[in-house]
Amino acid sequence: MPIIASSQAQPEYDVAIVGSGAGGGQMAYTLTLAGLKCVMLEAGRAYDPGTESAMFQRPDQIPLMNAPTPGKPYGFADATIDGGWEVPGEPYTQASTKAEEQFWWWRARMLGGRTNHWGRISLRNGPYDFKPRSRDGLGFDWPITYADVEPYYTKVEMLVGVFGSNEGLENTPDSPPGVLLPPPKGRAAELYAQKHAKKIGMPIISIHRAVLTKLLDADTLPAKLHPGNPRAQKIVADSMRARAACFWATDCHRGCNIRANYQSTTVHLPPALATGNLDIIPNAHAREVTLGKNGKATGVLYIDKTTGREARVKAKAVVLAASSAESVRILLNSKSAPHPQGLANSSGLVGKYITDSVGVSVSGHVPALENLPAHNEDGAGGPHFYAPWWLYTEQHASRLDFARGYHTEFNGSRSMPGGRNPLSDDLGRGAYGTKFKEEARRYYGSFVGYTARGEMVPNEFCFADLDPAVKDKWGIPVLRWHWKWTDQELNLAAHAIKSYTALIEAMGGKVRGTPKSPRDAIAAPGKVIHEVGGALMGADAKKSVCNGWNQTWDVKNLFLCDAAPFASNSDKNPTLTIMALAWRAGDFIVEQARKGNL
């Protein structure tokens, strides 16, 4: 594996890629298989899920029974080996002292970035999601359409492997026949919710997740992905054959050493490295993009964390894919006489209009799910079913008091017990010995939870800039966060609470705990880890940072290929769209390279 030290870098590359997650991994894959020489800068250490993931340990075999700690907020076995809400020596600050206006910024400092940890929910944006302002007059339209991105959604799904079903629902795009892998059967709580949700008009269908439910067809898919490129076809076929189908071992958040789920480290980087066209420099903390006298990017200046010294790589083009906010930080720190506000910031919009998913959860107890026979419902490490947003007609007719929708993720099953108390204190009160065991068996699996992932409308109060005083341990100015929820998000949260209460009651259950007010119930800013925006994609250079090819207006050989260019944050999880746009931008870069325009 060509993971190299700073001193081993080549004199110049075709493309320098900052970040190794969904966008950076996809970009490395696309460019190297097309023959371009690339260097990848990763701010964290190298990581190999094949040897480092705690995939087969039971909770009782894991320190603290995998309970969350400040240093490992998702448990000891979580795949984020370095990083989290706080990174030593790399602070960020808040513009407000109010808790509801403070942003929680999750950073994964490791090869593969957040793709090692994410939930693998892979939903396509629909046609409405690319033109939201045209529907409701709020926020921004993308300069591209669903039709522009659809072929790349299909390519990504074929490459990474996504299970799910086609249901023909409004603004919930189907995939072409034969692209999706078979979905796993619903769990008991999911099937029961599906049955009773009809009473309230909520559709519940198989979710789309990047987990292999069967082996990929390595004999036919590579030719579809890379027509006319036999070398790329062979490399991709070999990589596909090295992946195994999921056998429902443990939580996908731990990483997967059989490569059944999608991680950049197991899907994108192996074939990119196999081309011989990719060098990876870990512990390379990007500081700024460097420019030449002609105004083009010439490479990246970074801190070598192993020595604490500055280093740089030279390249004909630069791709920032460090995660949306980290890319914003790099742009704002890339100041020069021609770019006093930061690079690619002639519009003044770098850092502006950041959004996150609106998160709201309601849980309950359903007596019909008590005393079920003991059975294994571990499944694919996440929800098998979900509810897409279904009230587009009512919303478009202004019959709701919020403009955008939410999808619903499910929790509730008889998965392997985590070793902690299976009973809430109120249900187990007074029960000891045999009686306690009977009550545990009775109630285990009868609790359900529903979580909204809603669309936030961009507003002028949500942005990040550079703190004027605080710097990280290497002397680089850090981000300062500004945040305010609006009535759009609070009204969406209120609707979700009512919907989930109605669903639980339709199942014959009861909500546990009185739902809080929307302001109290909504997840803290950043806690959903879906922040996007900060480098708006648009059709006008005066009103956006980059064009429809993820290419910055101000620097033609600088591309932003994480979620920073997102013009909106639909209710669909952003990772699949990040990859689709990165593949599309990668094809554009390859074509520009062939024309000699880099």
Q: What is the dihedral sign for C-alpha 126, 212, 320, 478?
A: positive
Query: pLDDT tens digits for 83-97?
Result: 999 999 999 999 999
pLDDT of residue 93: 98
CA nearest neighbour of 27 among 553, 407, 562: 562
**pLDDT tier for residue 427 given thresholds of 50, 70 and 90:** confident
pLDDT of residue 558: 98
Pairing of strands 385-387, 358-365: unpaired
CA nearest neighbour of 244 among 266, 264, 223: 266
**pLDDT tier for residue 413 given thresholds of 50, 70 and 90:** confident
Report the alpha-carbon distance of residue 67 to residue 64 in Å, rounded: 6
pLDDT of residue 84: 93
Query: pLDDT tens digits for 569-596?
Result: 999 999 999 999 999 999 999 999 999 9
3-state secondary structure of 221: helix
pLDDT of residue 164: 98
pLDDT of residue 414: 85
CB 404 within 8 A of CB 133: no
SS3 content of the chain, % helix, strand, coil (to 5): 30, 20, 50
**What is the layout of strands, in order, in the sheet containing 205-206?**
205-206, 385-387, 406-411, 447-454, 358-365, 510-511
Q: What is the dihedral sign for C-alpha 244, 246, 249, 254?
A: positive
- Tell me which DSSP letter residue 252 carries: G
pLDDT of residue 208: 98
> Which of 103-112, 487-496, 511-520, 570-579 bottoms out in mean pLDDT, i.e. has the lowest?
511-520
* Residues sharing a CB contact under 8 Å with residue 533, sequence separation 6 or more, in sequence order: 324, 352, 353, 354, 355, 458, 563, 564, 566, 567, 569
Mean pLDDT of the chain: 95
pLDDT of residue 253: 87
- In the predicted structure, residue 340 carries a pLDDT above the cut 70: yes
Pairing of strands 205-206, 385-387: antiparallel
Task: Specify the pTM.
Answer: 0.97
What are the residue ranges of helices labelled H in 226-265?
230-241
* Residues sharing a CB contact under 8 Å with residue 180, sequence separation 6 or more, in sequence order: 157, 162, 163, 164, 165, 166, 208
Burial class for 308, CB neighbours closer than 10 Å (0-12, 13-18, 19+): exposed
Pairing of strands 278-281, 38-41: parallel
**pLDDT tier for residue 394 given thresholds of 50, 70 and 90:** very high
**pLDDT tier for residue 305 given thresholds of 50, 70 and 90:** very high
The amino acid present at 490, given as its one-letter code, is: L
CB 257 within 8 A of CB 53: yes
Which whole-number Å values give the CA distances from 446 to 206, 422, 503, in the listed order? 21, 11, 15
pLDDT of residue 54: 85
Q: Across the chain, how many H-helices and E-strands are there?
A: 16, 18
